[in-house]
């Protein structure tokens, strides 16, 4: 099942029903509170030295967009916070360690399911952020990925 959000209702592709087949976490879920608290902190923090100021503000916008519009669906589909908000230590490095919010670069998420997150593409067909390689039954190895707010906090404490 693939899910899209229209206004405040959740729709499953291929059906006309508006009732979700997944159980969405509420705002009281500690993961959702953690993300929103961390993003509130990031928005008040100075930009990291490792990236430019405009790039930082664009990243904050993407992080907030994922958190406010897609976080509940992604968590209900089994995606982890690292899948969504992870990044390499130092904010630069292997793309395989980057979460979907870090890779958006202003693009929109079109839909989410248990296996992939479809991201619109300005030119050409959409991209899909996969949980696992099509040739494997195991999720991608994102060990070494750190939540972006932890990387920024560590940089500021140095």
Q: How many CB atoms lie within 10 A of CB 145?
A: 24
Kindly state the percentage of the chain with pLDDT values over 90.
46
Task: Say yes or no to pLDDT of 48 above 80.
Answer: yes
Confidence of residue 3 (pLDDT cuts 50, 70, 90): low
**Domain ranges (residues) in the chain:** 2-14+25-157
The torsion angle over the Cα atoms of residues 53, 59, 65 and 68, rounded to 10 degrees, is: -90
111-154, pLDDT tens digit by residue?
998 889 999 988 889 988 887 766 656 566 677 889 999 999 98
What is the structure's pLDDT at 19? 47
What is the structure's pLDDT at 52? 87
Threshold 0.85, pTM exceeds: no
57-100, pLDDT tens digit by residue?
999 999 999 999 999 999 999 999 999 999 988 777 777 788 99
């Amino acid at each position: 099942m693939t899910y899209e959000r229209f206004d405040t209702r959740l729709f499953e592709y291929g059906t006309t029903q508006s009732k979700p087949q997944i159980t969405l976490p509420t705002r009281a879920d500690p993961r959702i509170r953690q993300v929103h608290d961390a993003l509130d902190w990031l928005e008040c923090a100075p930009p990291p030295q490792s990236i430019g100021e405009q790039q930082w503000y664009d990243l904050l916008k993407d992080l907030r967009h994922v958190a406010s519009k897609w976080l509940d669906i992604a968590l209900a589909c089994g995606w982890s916070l690292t899948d969504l908000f992870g990044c390499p230590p130092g904010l630069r490095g292997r793309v395989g360690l980057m979460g979907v919010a870090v890779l958006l670069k202003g693009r929109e998420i079109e839909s989410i399911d248990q296996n992939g997150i479809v991201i619109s593409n300005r030119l050409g067909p959409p991209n899909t952020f996969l949980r696992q390689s099509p040739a494997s039954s195991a999720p991608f190895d994102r060990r070494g990925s750190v939540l972006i707010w932890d990387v920024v906090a560590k940089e500021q404490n140095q």
